[in-house]
Structure 1
Amino acid sequence: MIGEGKVVCVTGASGFIASWLVKFLLQRGYTVHATIRSLDDPKKTQHLLALDGAKERLSLFEASLLEEGSFESAVNGCQCVFHTASPVIFSVSDPKAQLLDPAVKGTLNVLKSAAKIPSLKRVILTSSIAAVICGVKPPEFGAVVDETWFSDPETCEQKELWYPLSKTLAEDAAVKFSNNNGLELVVINPGFVIGPVLQPTINITSKGFIGLIETGKEVFPDGIYRLVDVRDVAIAHILAFENPKANGRYIMVADVNHSSEIMKIINQNYPAFDYSERYKDNKYEGTPPFFVSRTRAESLGVKFTTVEVSIKDTVESLKERKLLSF
């Protein structure tokens, strides 16, 4: 197996993307050091310990983003760190404490620990499309968004877009630190991540997706979703480590869809849950206002799951957990 004899670290390992990342790394034969906030919380540990290969090749470490040096034992002996740990909160009362400090200082804490390990040369950072798309002006109609686009911190602050600001500042800090300290940094910028859930508690994007499905209430005011499957995002992280030529940023968005299109897909697969009333008066014509380039992601070897499959698998996963009423 490709990962046999290789040791890697995954921070924030109990999260939505990270849980799949740990699963796939174990499947490929890697030994995984996984960090979580509390080893005493079974909701954070049990689903990881139950994965195939976990008994032989998974070690859990307790670490806190804001505690300097707390990642040092976890990264010791590793060849790569997958830094996924960062808060995902869209409504905050104290942006600095709840989002900005954990994102920026936490990223630097992890990188400082990584830079001390001679065997560790590459860091894969989980950023976000939020660090790409929130510029001074929104994308023009028909524009193709790619990795050369960057969110503008001043615009984010003025508009109180605290989550995009946290991801933008953290990515910028990571690039500067890595350049100055001899680390190879590869950045993954996923869109709105959907797909089956491994962990027992659902994350904020899954909650947002449930809100759209159950009530028609959109997470995004314009109803535009930049969707990507969680399994594709996890695989992209691994490919970014395994491919020595991987560098820079990789946007992970399978497609840009309006909420009415998502509802149509659900209606086709679950006609008993009559969705036709939700979208029949929608004026949306079917052409997204902008596109997101898949070129770099596909050059990495990513084969995108179709949005139809991702949506169906998301709904099935949420139904299994009895989180949907149909």
Structure 2
Amino acid sequence: MKKVGVIGGSGFIGSYITKQFLDHGFEVKVSSTDLSKKEKYKHLKQLNNSDRLTFSELNVENKEQLETFISDCEIVIHGGTPFLLNFQDADAQLFNPTIKGTENFLEVISTNKNIEKVVFIASVAGWNTNFPFPAEGKSFTDTFDETETRFTSTESHPYAQAKFMANQVVEKFIKANPNLSFEITTVSPVGVMGKSLSNREDSTSGGLQFLIKNKIAPDDFVKMLFDNDIPFSLIDVEDVAKAIFKAATTKGLHGKDYLLAKETYKISDMNLMLNQQEPKESAAIVYKNDLAKKELNMDFKPVKDCLYSF
């Protein structure tokens, strides 16, 4: 029985990843920044096969803790970077844990002889830091896939910039180390939606869905979404977890970075669907998922289904 380490395995996406691996017969080790805060991960103990689940304290900026965490894992999923739209200190809360945490992680895994596969949970921001706005030179209706040139701007949200920089760190590492004994694959989801497996109230994804459902704009970013009725490319959280599981258990995907996306809806139509009403406009396809469908054998469910379930 192989063991997978899931950094960030109790979060919104991470919980579904943990469930996927437990359902498929793996031992799963989940990281927690503070094991004393059991409310952060207690929901995972209710999953099927949770007897194969263990927890380990981990700060991604601590290389010694990283070495301990990955020491007995054949597969490692790195989803332990913060998703924050509101922050006080961009360096401390976003750039350092995201970029330095990625650098530390790569340094640690480079000397590990046990690991067979690493999957990074990146973001559409690794392709376009303007998201949900289009990349420079494109319109809201222009499609975007993995053949496009990556776009970043210093005017973008610090979260998006941090994710873009971390992605560049991974790409440089792969190029500088052509003879690795393990594979690295990256997935880059667009806006992730769906029902949380936990009752935690600190989820940015769940919080954004709540705001859109109830037409609440507590900050300039969310107000901008409403005021401009921004089209938002979306993906179901369970599909993201399934794609990550397939990326982790399929050989021959080294160096690949898959966009995970389904349909695009305007904020007004997201509001309707989150309230179990039909959207006024048909879904558009902006960020394409052809590569993930072909190489990960993914069949993405309609976004409407997950918004109705929220």
Q: Which of 18, 36, 39 is 2:14 aligned to?
A: 18
Deviation at 1:160, TM superposition (A): 4.5
Letter in structure 1 aligned against 2:43: H
* Structure exhibiting the larger radius of gyration computed from Cα positions: 1
Match of residue 66 from structure 1? 61
- Residue 49 of structure 1 is matched in structure 2 by 45
| Matching residue's letter, 2:194 | G
Structure 1 runs of 4+ aligned residues shifted over 6 Å read none
Aligned positions of 1:215-294 closer than 5 A: 215=215, 217=217, 219=222, 221=225, 222=228, 223-247=230-254, 248-266=256-274, 269=276, 288=284, 291-294=286-289
Quote how far apart the aligned CAs of 1:185 are: 1.4
Please give the secondary structure, in 1, of the residue aligned with 2:143. strand
Q: Distance in 2 between matches of 1:141 and 1:196?
A: 27
Partner residue of 2:86 out of 91, 101, 104: 91
Q: Counterparts of 2:283 and 2:241 in 1: how far apart (Å)?
A: 28
- The number of equivalent residue pairs is 293
Name stretches of at least 5 consecutive residues in structure 1 with no aligned partner.
Answer: 272-278, 315-326
Once the two structures are TM-superposed, the CA of residue 171 in structure 1 deviates from its matched residue by 0.9
TM-score (norm 2): 0.87
Q: Deviations over 1:214-252 (max 9, x none)?
A: 126483634221111110000111100111122411111
Check the 8 A contact 2:214/2:271 in 1, yes or no. Answer: no
TM-score (ref. length: structure 1): 0.83
Residue 105 of structure 2 aligns to a residue in which SS?
helix
Matched residues in 2 for 1:262 and 1:146: separation? 23
CA distance in 2, matches of 1:151, 1:53: 40
Aligned to 1:169: 165
- Corresponding residue of 2:121: 126
**What is the Cα deviation at residue 127 of structure 1?**
0.5
Cα distance in 2 for partners of 1:286, 1:308 equals 11
2:183–2:253 Cα contact (<8 Å) kept: no
Counting only pairs closer than 5 Å after superposition, residues 149-160 of structure 1 correspond to structure 2 as 149=148, 151-153=150-152, 155=153, 157=154, 159-160=155-156
1:160-208 residue CA offsets vs partner (Å, 9 max, x unmatched): 5201101001111122223434242111111111111112214112111
Return the alpha-carbon distance in structure 1 between the equivalents of residues 190 and 100 of structure 2. Answer: 23
Write the letter of the residue equivalent to 1:205: S
What do you get for the CA RMSD once the two structures are aligned? 2.2
SS in 2 for 1:292: coil
Distance 1:149 1:253 in 2: 15
Contiguous gaps of at least 5 residues in structure 2: none
Contact 2:8 2:14 in 1 (8 A): yes
Between the aligned partners of 2:104 and 2:239, the Cα distance in structure 1 is 27
C-alpha distance in structure 2 between counterparts of 1:91 and 1:112, whole Å: 30
Instruction: Give the equivalent residue in structure 2 for 1:307.
Output: 303
Percent of residue pairs identical: 25
